[in-house]
Amino acid sequence: MVVGDASLDIDTLVIGAGPGGYVAAIRAAQLGQKVLIVDKSEVGGVCLNRGCIPSKALIAAAHQYESAKHADAFGVSVENVKVDFSKTQEFKNSVVKKLTGGVAGLLKGNKVEVFHGECMFISENEARCFNEHESPRYRFKHCIIATGSRPIELKAFPFGGRILSSTEALNLPEIPKSLVVIGGGYIGAELGQMFSKFGTKVTILEGMDTILNGFDPDMTKLVVKSMNKTGVEIITNAKAESAEQTDKDVTVKYQVNGETKEVTADYLLVTVGRRPNTDGDLGLDLIGIEMTDRGLIKVDHQGRTNKPNIFAIGDVVAGPALAHKASYEGKVAAEAIAGHPSVVDYKVVPAVAFVDPECASVGYTEKEAKEKGYKAKAAKFPFAGNGRALSLNNADGFVKLIFDEETQLVLGCHIAGIEASNLIAELGLAIEMGATLEDIALTIHAHPTLGEIVMETAELALGNPIHVIAPRR
C-alpha cells in the first residue's frame, strides 16, 4: 500500500507493541475503537522477544541442569550431565516464537491493524508512519504512547564486542567460562545466577551495599547464600571505572574501599537500569508533551498527558519498569478513552526477581506501613515447616506478612522460596480486596501445597500457629 499526503482516519493510534501497547490495542478494539498499532520491531516488545520471556526460558533450563546434577537426593542417579547450549537456545527461541505468534494472532482476531515501522507526530491529531516501503499518514482521535525502554549504556562501557547488554547476553551462542556483571539489580542477579548454574564463573560488581536493593533484606540474604553455592562472587560498594577488551576477553577495573582492582572474564554484562524511549524522532517536543527531567512523560491517574487525547503507559511514565504494570496501565488508558471511569492504583503491583530462591513482594514493607501511619507488625513463617516444600527438597525460604495490629488488615507480603512468583498472587488479591489476617487464616488451603504457608503465616500473626511454636508475647 502506498499512501500520499491524504490522511487515513482511525480512532486510536498505539505506538509500541510491547506488553503495554498490544494489551492497550486489544482492549481498545474490544471497546469498539478502530485501532492501529505501530512498532519498528516485533510484536511483543522487549518483554517477549529480548527480556522477560527468553530470560525465564534460559533460567528454567539452568534449573533443569542443576536439578539433574543433584538428583541423588531423590535416589536418582544421573551420569555425565551435559548442556547442549545450542539446543537450549533453540528451546528459548521456540518459546518466544509461540508467544509472539500468539500475540500477532490476538491482534488480528481483534481486528487491530498492525504497521511495522516507525512513527512520528505531525500534530496532536496526526502522525506519519514509515518504513522502507511506505509512509502513510494517520489522523487519530486518541493516541497511546507505549514505546518502552532500552538498557542504559554507560559511557565507560559502550555496548559492543565483549561488552554486552541483556539483549546480547540472552543470545550468546555458548556458555561463557567467566562473566563480569556490573549491576546487581534483578536483571543482573537473574542472569548472573543463571550462567553460574551452567558453570560460568560469575563476578557481580554492585555499587550499593547489597544486591537486589529494594527487596526485603532477609530475602536478599537467602539469594546471596544460594549464589555463593554456585561460586558467584558478589562485590558490593564497588565502582566500575573502565574496561579494556581483546578478541578473547575483557578486563574491568573497579574501585572498592579506596583500592583499585581488576577482574578479567570472557564477557562483561552491564545491567544498570533502563532508559525510556522518548528521546528519538517521535516528535514529543513538536507537539508539546510535558516531560520530567528523567525523560519520562507526565501523566495523570488515567495515563493522560497534558494533551487530553494523548496517553502514555509503561516504561515511559513514572514507576517500576515492569511488564505487568504496563499491561495494567494499557487497559486503564483504553478504558479511559472509551469513557470508562478507570484509574490506576499502584497499591498492589507485585515485584518479582526470578533468582534462586525466587523473591516476590507486594504491598508495603513494615517500614513503609509505619510511615503511612499504620501500627504495623510482621509475621514470618519458614518454608521448612511445609510438607510440600520438604518433599520437593527445596525448603529454603519464608513468607512474611505485614499487617496492621489494630485492624488485622493485610498491608504487604514478601516471599522468598520456590514458586514465590506464583504464591504472591494470592496476597495481591488479599490486599486489593481489603482482606484481614482472619480472612486468609480461615480460607482452607489444599494439602500438601506451598500455598499452605500463606495460611500458616496468617495463623502465626494471629497468635495461634499450628506448625511452629508460637512466640511468647
Q: Which residues are catalytic?
A: 447
Is 183 annotated as a binding-site member?
A: yes
With b meaning 16 or more CB within 10 Å and e meaning fewer, what string describes 271-296?
A: bbebebbbeeebebeebebebeeeeb
Q: Is 206 annotated as a binding residue?
A: yes
Q: Is residue 384 part of an annotated ligand binding site? A: no
3-state secondary structure of 194: helix
56 labeled binding residue: yes
Q: Rounded CA gap, 206 and 189, in Å?
A: 10
Task: Establish whether 184 is an annotated binding residue.
Answer: yes
Q: Which three cell numbers stand for residue 6?
A: 491524504
Please indicate if the annotation marks 417 as binding a ligand: no
Cβ pair 158, 151 in contact under 8 A? no
Residue 446 cell numbers, joined: 489444599
Q: CA of 211: how far to CAs of 202, 331, 399, in Å?
A: 14, 33, 20
Consult the annotation and say whether 22 binds a ligand.
Answer: no
Per the annotation, does 319 bind a ligand? no
Q: Which three cell numbers stand for residue 361?
A: 513482594
364 has binding-site annotation: no
Q: What span, in angstroms and rounded, lies between the C-alpha atoms of 44 and 256?
A: 40
Let me know how many helices (H) and strands (E) the chain has, helices first: 13, 22
188 is in an annotated binding site: yes
60 is in an annotated binding site: no
The whole-angstrom separation of Cα 212 and Cα 234 is 12
Most distant pair of Cα atoms in the chain: their distance = 79
Which cell numbers hold the place of 295?
A: 525523560
Q: How many CB atoms lie within 10 A of CB 80?
A: 4
Three cell numbers, residue 211: 544486591
Cβ-Cβ contacts under 8 Å for 441 (sequence gap 6 or more): 455, 458, 459, 462
Residues contributing to the annotated binding site: 56, 147-149, 183-190, 206, 273, 315
Residues contributing to the annotated binding site for NAD(+): 183-190, 206, 273
Residues contributing to the annotated binding site for FAD: 56, 147-149, 315
